[in-house]
A and B are shown apart, each in its own frame.
Chain A
Amino acid sequence: MSKKQHYTLTVNGTEEEVLAEPRELLIYTLRERLNITGPHIGCETSHCGACTVTIDGKSVKSCTMFVAQADGKEITTIEGLGGPDALHPLQQAFKEHHGLQCGYCTPGMITRAAKLLEENPNPTEEEIRFGMSGNICRCTGYQNIVKSIQAAAAEMNASKEAAE
């Protein structure tokens, strides 16, 4: 056990002060101190991606990052992407195209996919498969996840064009 420290995180646009041991993993800070339970824990070794969040513009596995390392950073979780009043196009597309089954990987999967589409708004199937390879799903076999991401990309590009 080590001495607790104060950390400041901006989570989904809200500044949060937490008092925690520096060794605390970010996923526990989010889930247990801030009650942000969208990101899940699946492996503790950065393989499964259930804990994926976006930190300062990059996809990060929050199960292998200490809260101390996240001090002062901007964090986005599934809860920050969209909600009941306005779903993110990816949330809508995963529903439409059966891109999930048990739902456990889904928050990490969608959070990662959002980042992927931000970086590459027109990915090929191969680019999607490669770009999503840090997130494991045990239920879907990925086929409908790929389809969901393609559909969301098309939808997002269409609304961008309409806006321009």
Chain B
Amino acid sequence: MKDDVDSREDRIANLKGMGCSRKRVEDARFTQGKGNYVDDIKLDGMLFGDFVRSPYAHATIKSIDSSAAMEVPGVLAVLTAADLEPLGLHWMPTLAGDKQMVLADGKVLFQGQEVAFVVARDRYAAADGIEAVEVEYEELPVLVDPFASMTSDVVLRPDTVADDGSPANGAHGPRKHHNHIFTWEAGDKEPTEQVIANAEVVAEEFMYYHRTHPCPLETCGCVASMDKVNGKLTLWGTFQAPHAIRTVVSLISGIEEHNIRVISPDIGGGFGNKVGAYPGYVCSVVASIVTGKPVKWIEDRMDNLMTTAFARDYWMKGRISATKEGKITGLHCHVTADHGGFDACADPTKFPAGFMNICTGSYDIPTAYLEVDGVYTNKAPGGVSYRCSFRVTEAVYFIERMIEVLAIELDMDAAELRRINFIRKEQFPYKAALGWEYDSGDYHTAWDKAMQAVDYDGLRAEQAQRIADFKAGKTRKLMGIGLTHFTEIVGAGPVKNCDILGLGMFDSCEIRIHPTGSAIARLGTISQGQGHATTFAQILASEIGLPADSITIEEGDTDTAPYGLGTYGSRSTPVAGAATAMAGRKIRAKAQMIAAYLLEVHDDDVEFDVDRFVVKGAPERFKTMKEIAFAAYNQAIPGIEPGLEAVSYYDPPNMTYPFGAYVCVMDIDVDTGVPDIRRFYALDDCGTRINPMIIEGQVHGGLTEALAVALGQEIAYDDMGNVKTGTLMDFFLPTAWEVPNYETDHTVTPSPHHPIGAKGVGESPHVGGVPCFSNAVHDAFRAFGLRQTHMPHDHWRIWKTANELGLHDQG
């Protein structure tokens, strides 16, 4: 033991605590092909289940004949809604207060909808069985446009219509039409209208944030195993919220919760896709109960893109008012939200449009109003937060486009317009017009640092020259400078206003210190690549003074981990990270008493120092945490229980509000529509930084997903409701070839209410990245009269924009 000779700096370094770029402990198994993902699970006698899916977007089901399928070698069962109905499982509740068919109950509402579940010896036999199931459909009129849906006589969901034909009230109050789901409002309507009516300058715009999909590389799947001998159900699956899944399975199956064990093994990326509960999970559980065998269900990529968890699909209409000098006075936003056939959005209960009401962004906007109308169409259900916290991406895209449009209206530089409207540092905590209280921020410092780093004035000068050259016929490439300053709202959230299915959105950590001074900590979250096993150990190392390398982090097994609401919406660090620090502090409090006893002084006479408690004023008298851990197990200390364990359930007092300043510089070939991203600068302020290496990795990844969404990725439908982008042939995932190198930077403005000041970062680059890429495309054409063109800005659409602006007539 060298504790008494190492310098304080060495002792800090030995811990590998907060602030150090600790290498990831997860990587040994992943780099050797020894990860354990759900499809790697193999159990004795395991069967495979797969779906017969609807080829139609809207149809009545006349009949289902599975007799031929039952003759296929290896097929054991074919489940339909009629089989599930006696169990009450043919429909299931959604996270949004609606309900969803598990298997088609008389009709189908979107292409790819689950119609029957074929259970077979292996996946080939299941596929053969699916081919042999005869389903007779009668086509119905298809509604893929939410505006048409809101005026159509066609009733998509007869189950939501009252006996007199009027729309029954939904989970969020009265409905305006039989295909309408909810209206949700925030802010002050009349005052906002007045401010805008009397404003010196008003800019209006209508923008479509297209439907897309999180598309993690690993699709969704599960293995259900009902042990009929002891009555226990074990469910392994790609669950971003394993505890919530356990509660949901218990509620809908009637199996008592203590008899259900949900395990999320390694997860191959989530990005929001794996938050919801899907028919595949329910059918696998039922099939396991019916057959008495474990049943595996794994989506293929087409199933994944067509059915589970789309994101976005918001039609946003905005009006923003300002003085002639550019001081913003009011903001009005109306959203028509296309939710597909069932409202299965993954949002906290009280927020049917998520945190769209953060759409005043980083700006001090005194008056604002938001109204969102949710609408049923013949598209897949979902509405998940694709690498974002509950519609924050839509909100940030909206305001960052509105700022650009206002800049055009004012004939002003968009960077300067942002600067004069930022919430000032001294205004925090800042109460926004739409209700949120921003915890902390220093936007001007971040913005100025970003502008300086990219030499903003130099870029604008270069752009002016480029425009002149283009007009003179010297070049066919335009230059776009994309700007974004985003403010997120993450870390859901306070139990007082955030719950999912009635479950408060706290999170948890339980720590056990072993006698020899190592530890295990378990959390209610689950990593899908974020590196929790690495970073949560770093938080603990700094809090309890034991090396991160001596701390095992475990998540995802509901039999062992404390209850938590899981990992999405950048909530792991803000909520479970806080719980980890608080549980660590409980350990430290007990350790202090033990140390005082061992050192024969009063509790108040010792203080914590890196990895030990020292007697105040006598640093040579100390007990290391390692010594204290052993004492906790081998000493009879009066008034103190043996052992050294703690648990914390943390209910955050507020959300956290990470922010950032991004700049994208892009050259666009006017004749091919191909954009070349020559520079991307990303400054993130996520408060206290736990592991800079991991933060940087999250920023690279989030920006790349943002690039995908802004520049090509979409779930597109034709008029018949056919999905046009159901494979990776059509659904854009960027490769190394399309992706630039990114420059990362940071400022640090800690969250004042979080125990370690951390705000979360995983989603920031996606949230800020999408408008930044999009603004760069728009900016390239601003001098030629472009105000707004919808994403995704793929080559064809960019070419079309250039063409519509008459830029192909000049060459």
Q: A37-B40, A82-B32, A143-B700 are in contact. Are A42 and B736 (CB under 8 A)?
A: no
Which residues of B216-243 have CB atoms within 8 Å of chain A's CB atoms?
A: 216-219
Q: Is the CB of B733 within 8 A of A48?
A: yes
Q: Is B30 within 8 A of A140, CB to CB?
A: no
In the complex, what residues of B have CB within 8 A of residue A82's CB? 32
Q: Is the interface of B mostly helix, strand, loop or mixed?
A: loop
B738 smallest CB distance to A (angstroms): 8
| B37 contacts partner chain A, Cβ-Cβ < 8 Å | yes
Q: Are B37 and A40 in contact, CB atoms less than 8 angstroms apart?
A: yes
Interface string of A34-45 (1 = CB under 8 A from B): 011111111111
| CB nearest to B530 among chain A residues | A101
Question: A107 with B701: in contact, given A102-B217, A138-B217, A138-B733 (CB under 8 Å)?
Answer: no
Nearest residue (CB) in A for B28 is: A95
| B23-37 interface with A by 8 A CB criterion | 23-24, 26-35, 37
Instruction: Identify the closest chain A residue to B738 (Cβ).
Output: A133
| Count of A-B contacts judged by CB separation below 8 Å | 181
Check if A16 is an interface residue, CB within 8 A of chain B. Answer: no
Q: Which residues of B contact A143 (CB under 8 A)?
A: 700, 739, 741-742
What residues of B have a CB within 8 angstroms of the CB of A102 in the complex? 30, 216-218, 266-269, 528-529
Contact with A along B182-225 (1 / 0, CB 8 A): 00000000000000000000000000000000011111000000
Report yes or no: B531 in contact with A95, Cβ–Cβ below 8 A. no
Q: How far is the CA of A104 from the CA of B694 in the complex (A)?
A: 17
Bound Cα distance A32, B700 (Å) = 34
> Taking the complex as formed, is A146 at the interface, i.e. its CB lies under 8 A from any CB of chain B?
yes
Contact A138 B742, CB 8 Å, known A102-B217, A129-B736: no
Task: Tell me, yes or no, whether B313 is within 8 Å of chain A by CB.
Answer: no
Interface residues of A in 98-156 (CB under 8 A from B): 98, 100-107, 110, 128-130, 132-146
Out of B301, B528, B700, B739, which one reaches A45, CB within 8 Å? B301
Judge whether B681 is part of the interface by a CB distance below 8 angstroms. Answer: no
Contact present for B28 and A139 (CB under 8 Å): no
The residue that A24 contacts in the complex, of B30, B124, B739, with Cβ under 8 A, is B124
Across the interface, which residues of B come within 8 angstroms of A79, CB to CB? Answer: 32-33
**Closest B residue, CB atoms, query A146:** B736
C-alpha gap A39/B729 in the complex (Å) = 21
Q: Would you list which residues of chain A between 1 and 28 have a CB under 8 Å from chain B?
A: 1, 21, 23-24, 28
- Determine if A77 is an interface residue (Cβ-Cβ < 8 Å): yes
- A138 near B269 with CB under 8 A, answer yes
Known contacts A130-B737, A138-B216, A138-B271; A48/B37 CB under 8 A: no
State the Cβ distance, A153 to closest chain B Cβ, in Å.
Answer: 15
B529 to chain A, nearest CB (A): 3
B728 within 8 A of A: yes
Given A45-B301, A129-B736, A138-B705; A104-B35 close (CB under 8 Å)? yes
B810 is an interface residue with CB less than 8 A from chain A = no
B124 touches A23 (CB 8 A): yes
Q: Mark A76-92, 1 if CB is under 8 A from B, else 0.
A: 01110011100100011
Give Cα A138–Cα B739 distance, bound, in whole angstroms: 12
Residues of B within 8 A of A38 (CB): 32-34
Q: Which residues of B681-724 have CB atoms within 8 Å of chain A's CB atoms? A: 693-694, 696-698, 700-705
Selected contact of B727 from candidates A32, A43, A138, A146, CB within 8 Å: A43
The reply to whether A47 and B728 form a contact with Cβ atoms under 8 Å apart is yes
Cβ of A75 within 8 Å of any chain B Cβ, yes or no, is no
* A104 and B34 alpha carbons, distance in the complex (Å): 10
Task: Tell me how far the C-beta of B698 lies from the nearest C-beta in chain A, rounded to whole angstroms.
Answer: 8
A73–B72 CA distance with the chains assembled, in angstroms:
32
Q: Is A56 an interface residue (CB 8 A)?
A: no
B73 to A107, Cβ gap below 8 A? no
Query: B34-60, CB under 8 A of A: which get 1 and which 0?
Result: 110101101000000000000000000
Docked complex Cα distance between A36 and B39 (Å): 12
Q: Is the CB of A141 within 8 A of B218?
A: no
From A38, which residue of chain B is reached at the shortest CB distance? Answer: B33
Q: Chain A's nearest CB lies how many Å from the CB of B437?
A: 32
Which residues of chain B are near A135, meaning CB under 8 Å? 735-736
For residue B123, CB closer than 8 A to chain A, the reply is yes
* Smallest CB separation, A149 vs chain B (Å): 10
- Residue of B31, B122, B302 touching A100 (CB-CB under 8 A): B31
B724-762 to A contact mask, C-beta < 8 Å, 1/0 = 000111000101110101100000000000000000000
25 A/B residue pairs, CB under 8 Å, sorted by A: A1-B128, A38-B33, A38-B34, A39-B33, A42-B217, A44-B302, A45-B301, A94-B27, A95-B24, A95-B31, A98-B696, A102-B216, A102-B269, A103-B266, A107-B30, A133-B735, A135-B736, A137-B217, A137-B736, A138-B269, A138-B271, A139-B697, A141-B697, A141-B700, A145-B736
Q: What would 16 more interface pairs be, CB under 8 Å, given A35-B42, A103-B29, A128-B736?
A: A31-B39, A42-B218, A44-B300, A47-B728, A84-B28, A84-B32, A100-B31, A102-B217, A102-B218, A103-B27, A129-B739, A137-B736, A138-B216, A138-B217, A142-B704, A142-B736
Interface residues in chain B, defined as those with a beta carbon under 8 Å from any beta carbon in chain A? 23-24, 26-35, 37, 39-40, 42, 72-74, 122-125, 128, 215-219, 266-269, 271, 300-302, 528-531, 693-694, 696-698, 700-705, 727-729, 733, 735-737, 739, 741-742
